[in-house]
Amino acid sequence: MTATNHPTLNFLLGISLLVSLSCKSQETPLIANGAELKVVSDTYSFTEGPAMAPNGDIYFTDQPNDRIVKWSAANNSVSVFMEPSGRSNGLYFDNEGNLLACADEKNQLWQIDTSNKEVTVLIDDYKGKKLNGPNDLWVDKKGGIYFTDPYYQRDYWKRTEMELEKQQVYYLSPDKKNISVVADDLVQPNGIIGSADGKTLYVADIGDKKTYSYKMNTDGSLSDKTLFTNLGSDGMTLDNKGNVYLTGKGVIVFNKKGEKILHIPIDQNWTANVTFGGKDQKTLFITAMNTVYTLDMNVSGVR
């Protein structure tokens, strides 16, 4: 499938982007001069979980159709990478270049070798009970994995309620032997992303419409929970300036202080996730309902 461009949509959204810029962001614009939203493809059911591979390609999920799709940074085209995919949702690449997937079908966390598509199940329960449904994840410098575990009832599950008492945030140790709860006081944790220096973790509590920042400790635990903004998020990312990108009604960007500096409107009912990709990591890749978009930026990602 080859990427397509919608001139009318780009024109209208381009105007909206300019209107949405704050004074601060106009002085140092995040969006590249003259850039417009481009539709990569609109042939999916619900897109989620974009993750950048080491070469700048983006892998994302078409969750209802049980497949992982790859966007090629070299020629701006998309192709199916894996189908079926364990109903994968959130994705992220580990420090060795393996693709990690929140495999929702059996509430597991997968490690996928992209060269041969061999799957290793890293987690399939917590203390003998099914996880709610791993949703989103982030990998620290040591290789430890933080992931959120909200409960969203799926029509392909036999169960109809949680086995665990809470919807929590977990940490899987770098050696993949120990899993621990690092946040247990959120309503419904969803989006998660860590800073490039490995000091701050952002977690969106979509159930309480809030996003928090935490200090990441050397043992993987979290402390110093601080309200970042009164807005939840589905997926999220960071740029090299430390700005935080939240999703929902388009993409909403906040600076390090939690001040809103930009809104990127998307002509969809819901924007699920966002990340940076491309060879220079200056392409913002956005998943929204049945469509994926790209937008050229002045800032870059932090991987």
Dihedral angle sign, alpha carbons of residues 173, 177, 179, 180: negative
| Annotated domain spans of the chain | 7-296
Tens digits of residue pLDDT in 11-37: 444 444 444 444 344 467 999 999 999
Between CA 159 and CA 150 the distance in angstroms is 15
| Strand arrangement, sheet containing 38-41 | 38-41, 291-296, 283-288, 273-277
- Classify residue 31 by its DSSP letter: B
CA angle, residues 96, 296, 57, in degrees to nearest 5: 25
Helix (H) or strand (E) holding 222: strand 222-229
The CATH H-level (homologous superfamily) assignment of domain 7-296 is TolB, C-terminal domain (2.120.10.30)
Helix (H) or strand (E) holding 17: helix 7-20
Between CA 36 and CA 30 the distance in angstroms is 13
Q: What's the predicted TM-score (pTM) here? A: 0.91
pLDDT for res 303? 76
One digit per residue, pLDDT tens: the chain, 303 residues?
A: 444 444 434 444 444 444 444 434 446 799 999 999 999 999 999 999 999 999 999 999 999 999 999 999 999 999 999 999 999 999 999 999 999 999 999 999 999 999 999 999 999 999 999 999 999 999 999 999 999 999 999 999 999 999 999 999 999 999 999 999 999 999 999 999 999 999 999 999 999 999 999 999 999 999 999 999 999 999 999 999 999 999 999 999 999 999 999 999 999 999 999 999 999 999 999 999 999 999 999 999 997
pLDDT for res 12? 41
pLDDT for res 2? 41
Tens digits of residue pLDDT in 226-237: 999 999 999 999
Dihedral angle sign, alpha carbons of residues 210, 271, 87, 112: negative
pLDDT for res 27? 60
| Selection from 48, 221, 91 nearest residue 144 by Cα | 221
Rounded (to 5) percent helix, strand, coil in the chain: 10, 45, 45
pLDDT for res 4? 44
Please, which residues have CB within 8 angstroms of residue 58's CB and are 6 or more apart in sequence?
A: 50, 51, 52, 70, 71, 73, 275, 277, 285
Q: How many residues does the chain have?
A: 303
175 strand-pairing partners: none
Please, which residues have CB within 8 angstroms of residue 287's CB and are 6 or more apart in sequence?
A: 47, 48, 49, 50, 60, 235, 271, 272, 273, 274
Amino acid at 177: K
DSSP per position, 76-137: TEEEEEESS-SSEEEEEE-TTSPEEEEEGGGTEEEEEETTTTEEEEEES-BTTB--S---EE
Between CA 244 and CA 256 the distance in angstroms is 7
Between CA 90 and CA 61 the distance in angstroms is 8
For the chain, helix (H) and strand (E) counts, in that order, are 2, 24
- Classify residue 72 by its DSSP letter: E
Whose structure tokens read 């993409």?
A: 251
